[in-house]
């Protein structure tokens, strides 16, 4: 009797343990530990309360849309449509819709489905190099701009530079091309005069205010260029040029590029664009150029490919340059920035070799 009883008790115990373990496994799956049934890859759920699915990455597939929603991919990607291990697959370029009609069939009738893209696209790759605020990188950026603006890598020699280049902006001067007709030269001289009262350029402030917005030299000639050369020997004026360059151009460009998920090359591309086109929002200013590019490609911060986006930005930048006769030489894009991009040098690492206006340059 005791042997039979023990045997029965053992069987009951094993059954109980088996049922308990099954319950635990089911509980774990219900808490998100099991992924999609029948799918060994597993895909995190996506939120599309705003009408557009938010991609959430796994090691193999990334959810891009729930059934009925539209989605966008960079380049040509493999997208699967279905649920619970039953999928149809399609190569998709640009945009698509997570629907039976788009994919040509219903892989799992009566079940709510979703679309996943092969590979993870929601997070840009982590930067592997320093950004443009690094002193060495910043100096490289200054040399690159100087090669296009002054046909020289010696950007520190440009504090004294001043001439009218007949682009409708009056005098262009200094390390970044401050212009008497666009307001940044006025801001510079006001800042310099605030720190150094009675300087040789302070007397031109009334004239600079009057010619702002035009190409006029009224009140500046005949001695403004000579006095600019004199001021450029003053270290306080050199520091003022550095300050205004960073405040108006460098810092805003780099900060926006970093927010867009761009590394040092992209930061420089933004900086060079804002130097030439200004920080405005019209179609041929930096803000407008960026908006045009973003209609063609997503930024890395939006889940886009960095090279694809930068090519779109350079396309928009080149189009803006061609609207002005003074900027119709686009070599700073074609044989400089595009060269670095084609070489995959997203961190703007040296050595660098390029051409502007046909002249070759190298930074080792």
Domains of the chain: 56-118 (no CATH), 135-179+237-363 (1.20.141.10)
Q: Which of 292, 307, 298 is nearest to 260 (CA)?
A: 298
- Catalytic site residue from 149, 184, 272, 306: 149
> For this structure, is 134 an active site residue?
no
Peptide bond preceding 222: is omega within 30 degrees of 0, i.e. cis? yes
Range 310-333 average pLDDT: 94
357 sits in the region (left: phi over 0; alpha: psi -120 to 50; else beta) called left
CA-nearest of 315, 353, 350, 338 to 147 is: 353
User: Would you say residue 360 has pLDDT above 90?
Assistant: yes
Give me 83's structure tokens: 């649920």
Neighbours of 357 (CB within 10 A): 11
Give the per-residue pLDDT at 61. 85
Alpha carbon 150 to chain centroid, angstroms:
27
Q: Does the pLDDT at position 138 exceed 80?
A: yes
**Which two structure tokens, joined as six digits, stand for 129?**
């190099």
148-151: long-range contacts, CB 8 A cutoff, minimum separation 24: 148/272, 148/331, 148/332, 148/336, 148/356, 148/357, 149/176, 149/177, 149/275, 151/356, 151/357, 151/359
Distance CA 208, CA 198 (A): 16
What's the pLDDT at 156? 97
pLDDT (0 to 100) of residue 128: 52
pTM, to two decimals: 0.66
**Residues 68-73: what's their mean pLDDT?**
83
What's the pLDDT band for 10 if we cut at 50, 70, 90? Answer: very low
What is the per-residue pLDDT for 71?
A: 82
From the candidates 67, 122, 167, 242, give the one annotated as an active-site residue: 167
Q: Is 74 a catalytic residue?
A: no
The stretches of the chain forming alpha helices (DSSP H) are: 2-28, 100-103, 135-149, 184-195, 205-211, 224-231, 235-245, 251-259, 264-277, 286-296, 306-321, 331-332, 338-342
């Amino acid at each position: 009797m005791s042997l039979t009883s023990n045997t029965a008790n053992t069987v009951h115990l094993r059954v109980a343990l088996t049922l308990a373990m099954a319950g635990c496994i089911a509980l774990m799956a219900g808490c998100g530990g099991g992924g999609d049934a029948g799918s060994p890859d597993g895909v995190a759920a996506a939120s599309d309360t705003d009408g557009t699915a938010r991609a959430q990455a796994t090691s193999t597939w990334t959810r891009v849309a729930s059934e009925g929603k539209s989605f966008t991919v960079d380049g040509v990607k493999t997208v699967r449509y279905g649920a619970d291990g039953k999928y149809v697959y399609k190569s998709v370029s640009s945009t698509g819709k997570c629907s039976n009609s788009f994919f040509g069939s219903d892989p799992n009738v009566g079940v709510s489905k979703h679309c996943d893209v092969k590979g993870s696209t929601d997070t840009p790759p982590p930067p592997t190099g320093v950004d443009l605020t690094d002193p060495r990188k910043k100096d490289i950026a200054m040399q690159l701009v100087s090669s296009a603006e002054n046909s020289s890598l010696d950007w520190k020699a440009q504090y004294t530079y001043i001439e009218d280049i007949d682009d409708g902006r009056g005098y262009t001067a200094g390390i970044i091309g401050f212009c008497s007709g666009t307001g940044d030269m006025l801001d510079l001289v006001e800042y310099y005069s605030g720190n150094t009262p009675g300087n040789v350029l302070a007397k031109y402030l009334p004239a600079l205010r009057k010619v702002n917005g035009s190409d006029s030299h009224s009140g500046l000639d005949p001695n403004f260029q000579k006095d600019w050369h004199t001021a450029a020997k003053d270290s306080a004026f050199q520091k003022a040029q550095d300050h205004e360059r960073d405040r108006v151009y460098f810092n805003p460009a780099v900060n926006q590029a970093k927010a867009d998920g761009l590394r040092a090359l992209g930061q420089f591309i933004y900086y060079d664009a804002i130097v030439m086109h200004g920080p405005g929002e019209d179609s041929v200013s930096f803000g407008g150029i960026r908006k045009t590019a973003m209609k063609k490609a997503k930024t890395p911060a939006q889940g886009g490919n960095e090279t694809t986006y930068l090519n779109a930005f350079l396309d928009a930048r080149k189009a803006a340059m061609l609207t002005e006769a003074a900027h119709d030489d686009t070599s700073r894009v074609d044989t400089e920035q595009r060269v670095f991009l084609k070489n995959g040098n997203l961190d703007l690492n040296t050595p660098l070799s390029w051409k502007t206006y046909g002249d070759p340059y190298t930074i080792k």
